[in-house]
Structure 1
Amino acid sequence: MGMIMSLMGGGAMYSQMVSLVSTAVYDRFRASEIKNFDDFHVSILDIFNNFNSALPGKHFDAPPREEIEEAFKQWQEEPDSIKKKENFVEFLKRSVKLSKTDNATMITGVMTPPAAMAAKRYIENVPQLKLMKAFPDAVFVPTATVLGLFSVQISRKILMGKMVS
């Protein structure tokens, strides 16, 4: 059934779902008091924060500040409330992008647990480091994995910072 709907371009059910969700999001957006750009920006970021906290697994990146400024100008200039809603919904459809993880993070997440187990087994055989046997595998492996993922994130931020400056 889902395959048929996707081949038909979503069908009536899909368009009704999009309409329902966009109406609910706009109603929540409109309920917040928007007096200037900062209020508009905070409301947009709040919407993305709610999406990311409510949907397990998938996360969405917020649009850049420049796009939000353009949307605010268009939204502010429109006197008609129906047109305001249509412009806002089109802005969300245009700017919502699925967050992607990079290859370094994926490879580190997959390769670190077996490497941590191998390293622990090797370290346990070194006479000076017999204390390592006291740490259970259930604590050591996740700790090593999290530290590996943190190191990838930090090194990426350092490299990106050097590339930007």
Structure 2
Amino acid sequence: MGMFMSFMGKGLPTTQLLSMLTGTLQKQFMEKDISDFEKFHMAILDIFETVNAALPGKHYNVPLPEEVQVCFEGWGKADESEKKKILIEFMKTKVNLSKLDDFTLIAGLATPPAAMAAKRAGESVPQLKLIKAIPDVIFVPSATVLALISAKLSRKMILGHVAS
């Protein structure tokens, strides 16, 4: 196995890939007509949407509007050569990885076995004849997604906010 992996090479250089990504996002950001805070904030949100949609797995939390406002004030006063530095510094300091809370993680792990047990118990009830027609491969993921959505919404309603 080790020999096979050594033949594959080192893969993509992460610093070059990161530099290409930041360069592309910075060019995309600078090409927009940004004259006020709303357009600046929309451009920042567009960057996060692009990155979170493109990268599988980990996602990044969007900074608070107050933090974006402070960055915009510094960015608006700077000349063209300083704008890139301000934007990069803002992204380095204010961007954080989103984290799952324990409740969501436990709900995601406990739901599939519970869904299978509920389906098996429901198949023996005469009033739930329809449940036999639903394949396990559709029922279990659907129940898991619904449980995760309800866990997220209940935490949002109780706490007022949840890391997304």
Under TM normalisation by the shorter chain, which class is it? 0.7 to 0.9
Aligned pairs (5 A) from 1:8-87: 17-79=17-79, 81-87=80-86
Identity %: 48
Partners of 2:146 and 2:17 in 1: CA distance: 41
Q: 1:121 to 1:77 in 2, by over 3 A?
A: same
Equivalence for 2:138 = 139
Q: 1:110 to 1:39 in 2, by over 3 A?
A: same
Q: CA deviation at 1:131?
A: 4.1
Partners of 1:132 and 1:26 in 2: CA distance: 52
Q: CA deviation at 1:156?
A: 1.0
CA RMSD of aligned residues (A): 2.1
Q: 1:33 to 1:124 in 2, by over 3 A?
A: same
Query: In the comparison of the two structures, how many residue pairs are matched?
Result: 149
Partners of 1:31 and 1:110 in 2: CA distance: 44
Aligned-partner SS, 1:63? coil
Q: Give me the TM-score of the superposition, normalised by structure 2.
A: 0.81
Q: 1:144 to 1:82 in 2, by over 3 A?
A: same
Q: 1:150 to 1:18 in 2, by over 3 A?
A: closer
Q: Give me the TM-score of the superposition, normalised by structure 1.
A: 0.80
Structure 2's unaligned 5+ residue stretches are: 1-12
Q: Which structure carries more relative contact order (alpha carbon 8 Å, separation 6+)?
A: 2
- The aligned amino acid for 1:106 is L
Aligned-partner SS, 2:35? coil
Describe the superposition over 1:61-82 as per-residue Cα deviations: whole angstroms up to 9, x where unpaired. Answer: 1110011001011111112x22
